[in-house]
C-alpha cells in the first residue's frame, strides 16, 4: 500500500503518517518544510518505505508531475490524502484578498489538481482511495473564517459529489470533518480570539483522528466526523446555523501589516 499524504510535516498529517506506518503502509510525505518532513520520516523509517517530497502545493502546475514522481519512487498510489491546509482567522474586511486567494489555492485548488492526477491513474487500475480533509467549518461556517469556511465547504461538496461518481470505477472517497483538534493550526486559531472559543466543547487529538481515518480507508466508510459529538451539525444544519449566528465569538483584528 502506497499513500501520498500532503501536509505531513505537522499536526493531523504527522499523526496520519505515524498511524499509517504502523499499518505497514509506504508513504510519500509532502509539505514545504523539508526538515520537519525528515523529522517525521526519521521517527517511522525502518518500518515502511518513506519518500520525502518538499513542495508547495500552491504550485498547481507542478502537481501532476509530483504524483507521477511519487509513483516512480514507491509504485502506484493506493491512497491520496488531501490534508495540507492553511487558515486565516480575522475580521474579513481586514484580510488582504491576495492572502485569501492563496488560502483557497492551497485548501481547494491543490486538492482538485491532486485528485485529478490521482484519478487519471486510479480509474484505469479500477482501485484507489481519495481522502479529503475538510473541516467542521464546512458544516458550521464560522464567523471570522470567511475564506477558510468557503474553501472547506467547497472541498467537502466536491468530495461528497465525487464518491458516487467514481464508486463504480473502484475508487473510494472518504470525506473527513474534523472539529477542533489539538495542533499548531488550532492553537493559532484559538489565540486569535480574546477568549478560548473551544472552552467547554469537545476537542480531539491528531492520533485518534488518524486512527479513525485509517479505519475509514480500510473499511471503505464514506465520512469521518470527529469528535463524534459534532455529527449533530450535519444532522441539524438549521439549528447549527442559528447557534453560529447568535453565539459565535468574534476574532481580534489582525495586527497592522509591517512597513
Ligand atoms: N486542527 C484543527 O482543529 C482542524 C480542524 C478541521 C480541519 N483541519 C484541517 O486539517 C488539515 C491539517 O491541519 P493541522 O491542524 O494539522 O494544521 P498544521 O499543524 O498547521 O499542519 C498543516 C500542514 O499543511 C502543510 N501545508 C500548509 N501549506 C502548504 C503548502 N502550501 N504546500 C504544502 N504543504 C502545506 C504544512 O506543512 P508546511 O508548513 O511544512 O508546508 C503542515 O504540514 C488542514 O487541512 C486543516 O484545515 C484542522
Q: Answer yes or no: is the C-beta of 11 below 6 A from any ligand 1 atom.
A: yes
Q: Answer yes or no: is the C-beta of 153 below 6 A from any ligand 1 atom.
A: no
User: What distance in Å separates the CA atoms of residue 253 and residue 5, rounded to the nearest whole number?
Assistant: 33
- Domains of the chain, earliest start first: 2-247 (3.40.50.720)
Of the listed 146, 148, 226, 230, which one is catalytic? 148
Q: Answer yes or no: is the C-beta of 58 below 6 A from any ligand 1 atom.
A: yes
Q: How many C-beta atoms surround the C-beta of residue 249 within 10 A? A: 14
Contact 91, 68 (CB under 8 A): no
Q: Is 148 a catalytic residue?
A: yes
pLDDT in tens, 75-109: 999 999 999 999 999 999 999 999 999 999 999 99
Q: What integer pLDDT is reported at residue 181 of this predicted model?
A: 98
Mean pLDDT of the chain: 96
User: What distance in Å separates the CA atoms of residue 78 and residue 3, rounded to the nearest whole number?
Assistant: 6
What is the pLDDT confidence band of residue 258, given thresholds at 50, 70 and 90? low
What is the pLDDT confidence band of residue 170, given thresholds at 50, 70 and 90? very high
* Separation of CA 224 and ligand 1 centre (Å): 17
Phi, psi of 43 (to 5 degrees): -75, -15
Q: Is the pLDDT of residue 211 over 60?
A: yes
All cell numbers assigned to 211: 486512527
Q: Is 238 helix (H, G, I), strand (E, B) or coil?
A: helix
Q: Whose CA is nearest to atom 41 of ligand 1?
A: 32
Q: Answer yes or no: is the C-beta of 9 below 6 A from any ligand 1 atom.
A: yes
Q: Is the pLDDT of residue 257 over 80?
A: no
Q: What integer pLDDT is reported at residue 35 of this predicted model?
A: 98
Closest ligand 1 atom to the C-alpha of 84? Answer: 24
pLDDT in tens, 44-55: 978 899 999 999
User: What distance in Å separates the CA atoms of residue 143 and residue 170, rounded to the nearest whole number?
Assistant: 39
Q: Whose CA is nearest to atom 25 of ligand 1?
A: 7
pLDDT in tens, 14-50: 999 999 999 999 999 999 999 999 999 999 978 899 9
What is the pLDDT confidence band of residue 254, given thresholds at 50, 70 and 90? low
pTM: 0.96
Q: Is 202 helix (H, G, I), strand (E, B) or coil?
A: coil
* Separation of CA 8 and ligand 1 centre (Å): 8
Q: What integer pLDDT is reported at residue 259 of this predicted model?
A: 47
What is the pLDDT confidence band of residue 185, given thresholds at 50, 70 and 90? very high
User: What distance in Å separates the CA atoms of residue 20 and residue 245, rounded to the nearest whole number?
Assistant: 38
* Separation of CA 10 and ligand 1 centre (Å): 7
Which residues are 188's β-sheet partners? none
Q: What integer pLDDT is reported at residue 47 of this predicted model?
A: 81
* Separation of CA 186 and ligand 1 centre (Å): 10
Contact 83, 6 (CB under 8 A): yes
Amino acid at each position: 500500500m502506497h499513500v501520498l499524504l500532503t501536509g505531513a510535516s505537522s499536526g493531523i498529517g504527522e499523526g496520519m503518517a505515524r498511524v499509517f506506518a504502523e499499518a505497514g503502509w509506504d508513504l510519500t510525505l509532502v509539505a514545504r518544510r523539508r526538515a520537519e518532513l525528515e523529522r517525521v520520516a526519521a521517527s517511522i523509517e525502518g518500518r515502511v518505505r518513506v519518500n520525502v517530497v518538499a513542495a508547495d502545493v500552491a504550485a498547481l502546475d507542478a502537481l501532476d508531475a509530483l504524483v507521477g514522481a511519487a509513483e516512480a519512487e514507491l509504485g502506484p498510489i493506493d491512497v491520496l490524502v488531501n490534508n495540507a491546509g492553511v487558515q486565516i482567522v480575522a475580521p474579513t474586511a481586514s484580510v488582504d484578498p491576495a492572502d485569501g486567494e492563496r488560502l483557497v489555492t492551497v485548501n481547494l485548488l491543490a486538492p482538485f489538481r491532486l485528485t485529478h492526477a490521482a484519478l487519471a491513474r486510479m480509474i484505469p487500475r479500477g482501485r484507489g482511495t481519495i481522502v479529503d480533509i475538510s473541516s467542521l467549518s464546512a458544516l458550521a461556517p464560522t464567523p471570522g473564517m470567511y475564506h477558510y469556511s468557503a474553501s472547506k465547504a467547497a472541498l467537502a461538496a466536491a468530495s461528497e459529489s465525487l464518491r458516487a461518481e467514481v464508486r463504480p470505477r473502484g475508487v473510494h472517497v472518504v470525506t473527513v470533518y474534523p472539529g477542533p483538534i489539538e495542533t499548531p493550526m488550532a492553537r493559532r486559531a484559538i489565540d486569535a480570539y480574546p477568549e478560548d472559543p473551544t472552552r467547554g466543547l469537545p476537542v480531539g487529538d491528531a492520533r485518534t483522528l488518524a486512527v479513525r481515518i485509517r479505519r475509514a480507508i480500510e473499511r471503505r466508510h464514506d465520512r469521518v466526523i470527529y469528535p463524534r459529538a459534532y455529527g449533530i451539525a450535519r444532522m441539524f444544519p438549521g439549528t447549527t446555523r442559528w447557534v453560529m449566528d447568535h453565539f459565535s465569538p468574534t476574532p481580534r483584528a489582525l495586527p497592522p501589516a509591517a512597513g
